[in-house]
């Protein structure tokens, strides 16, 4: 079997699916064009971003989604009346999972958004009763926007860092942070797993704590999601936050609170003992049934002992859960975790900072984690990936006007991490040492890689020294890309490359 016989023809697969669908010719042509463009751009996308699904995974899911979840696919021109609903919601497409219907603008990007939106996504959030929906909505929208990048920023031969996606900048920013912290595999598992037993957010918090135990990334993330709410939505959450703030007052009185938990544990134990005795003795069960029914209004009376038994079992399960919570809180580590969680709620409720400032603070927390990942990188491939990722991160949009690199504090922090990564890459032989002076070496290499060349390994440099200035020309293979001039107080002996000759940057 040769290589080509093992390659999947997604265009043909999609055509087979479309033959079974009652889509218009325009929809079918756009879908086929979408698949073609994704296939054409995916290699560049993988190289630039590093943390992505394989092309096979991406395309397989798209074709499968169209087959299983898309029955009624309509497109509407922005100039036509039917586009009003899309304009009202400020979206590229709207979907109805129950009816398996999709409405989108007539572009490949809008169709990709619609397909991404309609596929089932779970993102179950455990142990978070207040911000659960906000976090889930952020992850869903982040996933949808992340999928669009392949069409929005790549065209098969170049990487356009200035292109705008669907305007969901904050959700996308947070999703990208998650992606680079835990990887595509974890997010895919979180998205596709329907089980309510796994606490993915808790696991992510544990990972963050291992890298930086004082990191406040999740706190700032939640502050930002809360700040995005309208007044009506915020008022509903404020009721719950006030309750948590009152609970924190009690929890801070540690001795009294732990004594309360001990008392609660004893009471719950007695409740469970009574339920167990009732369930194990028919006479007691009949007596308790009659007693319970006598206290209920006629329209709420239980029809049989079987109904009463079911009610007792539900009470038993609830009591067991409360008992477990009370027992857990008596352990010092769990008490401190619970207290910290309540303090997070309080910090969110009392937060007076602007959303823009919180976004910057969140990214600083994220970059601290990326700095630690850089220090922990062991192999040459890991170091190279970090360099690619840091270059990519500079170009992530914070809003429609600014990217991360446009915020001085964040750009400076990325440069600090990038300098470490480049220095390690030079020492490991991944990148050629251009100058024996670390600062000069970094400035030259930073300028060379800070652009839109797809493969950093294809970068070539040509240096010219004239009257105390060093001219640096950058080439993508043999094609001129850009140049700059920097002050240079040393001499030719300080540089490790020949002048006026193209030299490959990566070994």
Give the Cα-Cα-Cα angle 350, 351, 356 (nearest 5 degrees). Answer: 165
* Same domain assignment for residues 143 and 263: no
Domain end, chosen from 209, 228, 259, is at: 209
Q: Are 374 and 328 in contact (CB under 8 A)?
A: no
For 16-52, b/e burial (b = at least 16 CB within 10 A) is ebbeebebeeebbebbbebbebbbebbebbbebbbbb
* Same domain assignment for residues 242 and 205: no
In a domain, 230, yes or no: no
In a domain, 359, yes or no: no
* Same domain assignment for residues 279 and 180: no
Stated as kind and residue range, the H or E segment containing 504 is strand 503-504
Residue 2: predicted pLDDT: 43
Kindly tell me the burial class for residue 393, based on how many C-beta atoms sit within 10 Å of its own C-beta (0-12, 13-18, 19 or more). Answer: buried
Chain centroid offset of residue 176 CA: 5
For 151-172, b/e burial (b = at least 16 CB within 10 A) is bbbbeeeebebeeebbebbbbb
Strands 101-104 and 72-75: parallel
CB atoms within 10 A of CB 317: 10
Domains: count for the chain: 3
* Same domain assignment for residues 186 and 47: yes
In a domain, 369, yes or no: no
Q: Are 447 and 470 in contact (CB under 8 A)?
A: no
Q: For residues 7 and 468, give the distance between their C-alpha atoms in angstroms, rounded to a whole number.
A: 55
Contacts of 54 (CB under 8 A, 6+ apart): 46
Helix, strand, coil percentages (3-state) for the chain, rounded to 5, are 65, 10, 25
Residue 364: predicted pLDDT: 98
Residues of the chain with pLDDT under 70: 1-7, 164-166
Q: State the residue range of the domain holding 314.
A: 236-347
Residue 3: predicted pLDDT: 39
Long-range contacts of 79-86 (CB under 8 A, 24+ apart): none
CB atoms within 10 A of CB 478: 8
* Same domain assignment for residues 190 and 291: no
476 token code pair: 């993508």
Closest to 59 in 3D by CA, of 2, 17, 101: 17
Rg (CA), the chain: 29
Closest to 481 in 3D by CA, of 192, 152, 158: 158
Q: What is the DSSP letter of 473?
A: E
3-state secondary structure 432-470: CCCECCHHHHHHHHHHHHCCCCCCHHHEEEEEEEECCEE
* Same domain assignment for residues 9 and 122: yes
For 179-193, b/e burial (b = at least 16 CB within 10 A) is bbbbebebbeebbee
Is residue 472 classed as helix, strand or coil in its secondary structure?
A: strand
Q: Are 417 and 445 in contact (CB under 8 A)?
A: no
Contacts of 32 (CB under 8 A, 6+ apart): 11, 14, 15, 18
* Same domain assignment for residues 15 and 121: yes
Q: For residues 146 and 373, give the distance between their C-alpha atoms in angstroms, rounded to a whole number.
A: 22
Stated as kind and residue range, the H or E segment containing 143 is helix 132-152
Q: What is the pLDDT of residues 47-83, one digit of tens each?
A: 999 999 999 999 999 999 999 999 999 999 998 888 9
In a domain, 363, yes or no: no
* Same domain assignment for residues 200 and 62: yes
Domain end, chosen from 326, 347, 368, is at: 347
Q: Are 476 and 453 in contact (CB under 8 A)?
A: yes
The pTM of the whole model exceeds 0.85:
yes
Chain centroid offset of residue 406 CA: 22
Residue 5: predicted pLDDT: 39
137 token code pair: 């909505």
* Same domain assignment for residues 255 and 324: yes
In a domain, 354, yes or no: no
Stated as kind and residue range, the H or E segment containing 209 is helix 200-211
Q: For residues 49 and 437, give the distance between their C-alpha atoms in angstroms, rounded to a whole number.
A: 30
Residue 82: predicted pLDDT: 83
In a domain, 22, yes or no: yes
- Start-to-end CA span in the chain (Å): 35
Sheet holding 72-75, edge to edge: 72-75, 101-104, 93-96
Q: For residues 249 and 380, give the distance between their C-alpha atoms in angstroms, rounded to a whole number.
A: 51
Give the Cα-Cα-Cα angle 256, 260, 265 (nearest 5 degrees). Answer: 150
Residue 491: predicted pLDDT: 75
* Same domain assignment for residues 95 and 23: yes
* Same domain assignment for residues 9 and 144: yes
Q: Are 374 and 386 in contact (CB under 8 A)?
A: yes
Q: Where are the beta strands (DSSP E) in 120-256?
A: none
In a domain, 360, yes or no: no
* Same domain assignment for residues 195 and 292: no
User: The tokens 């023809």 sit on which residue?
Assistant: 9
In a domain, 361, yes or no: no
């Amino acid at each position: 079997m040769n290589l080509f016989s093992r390659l999947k023809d997604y265009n043909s697969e999609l055509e087979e699916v479309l033959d079974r669908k009652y889509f218009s010719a325009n929809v079918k042509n756009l879908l086929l064009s979408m698949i073609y463009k994704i296939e054409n751009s995916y290699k560049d996308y993988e190289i630039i971003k590093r943390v992505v699904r394989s092309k096979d995974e991406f395309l397989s899911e798209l074709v499968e989604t169209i087959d299983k979840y898309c029955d009624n696919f309509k497109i509407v021109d922005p100039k036509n009346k039917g586009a009003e609903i899309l304009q009202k919601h400020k979206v590229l497409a709207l979907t109805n999972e129950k009816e398996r219907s999709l409405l989108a603008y007539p572009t490949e990007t809008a169709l990709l958004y619609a397909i991404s939106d309609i596929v089932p996504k779970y993102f179950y959030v455990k142990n978070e009763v207040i911000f659960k929906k906000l976090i889930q909505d952020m992850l869903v929208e982040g996933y949808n926007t992340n999928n669009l990048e392949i069409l929005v920023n790549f065209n098969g031969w170049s990487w356009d860092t200035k292109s705008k996606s669907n305007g969901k900048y904050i959700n996308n920013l947070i999703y990208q942070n998650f992606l680079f912290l835990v990887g595509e595999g974890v997010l895919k598992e979180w998205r596709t797993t329907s089980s309510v037993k796994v606490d993915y957010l808790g696991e992510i918090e544990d990972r963050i704590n291992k890298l930086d135990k004082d990191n406040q990334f999740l706190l700032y993330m939640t502050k930002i999601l809360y700040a995005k709410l309208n007044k009506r939505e915020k008022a509903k959450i404020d009721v719950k936050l006030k309750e948590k703030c009152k609970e924190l007052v009690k929890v801070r009185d540690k001795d009294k609170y732990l004594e309360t938990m001990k008392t609660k544990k004893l009471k719950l134990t007695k409740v469970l003992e009574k339920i167990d005795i009732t369930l194990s003795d028919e006479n007691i069960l009949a007596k308790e049934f009659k007693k319970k029914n006598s206290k209920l209004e006629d329209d709420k009376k239980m029809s049989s002992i079987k109904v009463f038994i079911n009610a007792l079992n539900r009470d038993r399960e609830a009591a067991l859960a409360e008992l477990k919570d009370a027992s857990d809180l008596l352990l010092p580590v769990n008490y401190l975790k619970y207290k910290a969680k309540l303090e997070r709620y309080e910090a969110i409720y009392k937060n007076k900072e602007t959303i823009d400032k919180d976004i910057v603070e969140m990214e600083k927390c994220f970059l601290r984690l990326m700095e630690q990942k850089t220090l922990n990188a062991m192999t040459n491939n890991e170091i190279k990936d970090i360099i690619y990722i840091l270059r990519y991160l500079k170009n992530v949009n914070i809003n429609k006007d600014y990217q991360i690199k446009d915020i001085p504090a964040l750009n400076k922090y990325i440069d600090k991490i990038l300098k470490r990564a480049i220095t390690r890459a030079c020492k490991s032989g991944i990148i050629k040492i251009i100058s024996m002076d670390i600062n000069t070496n970094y400035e030259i290499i930073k300028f060379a890689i800070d652009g839109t060349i797809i493969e950093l390994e294809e970068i070539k440099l040509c240096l010219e020294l004239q009257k105390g200035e060093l001219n640096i020309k950058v080439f993508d293979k043999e094609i001129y890309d850009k140049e700059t001039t920097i002050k240079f107080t040393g001499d030719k002996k300080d540089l490790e490359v020949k002048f006026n000759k193209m030299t490959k940057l990566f070994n």
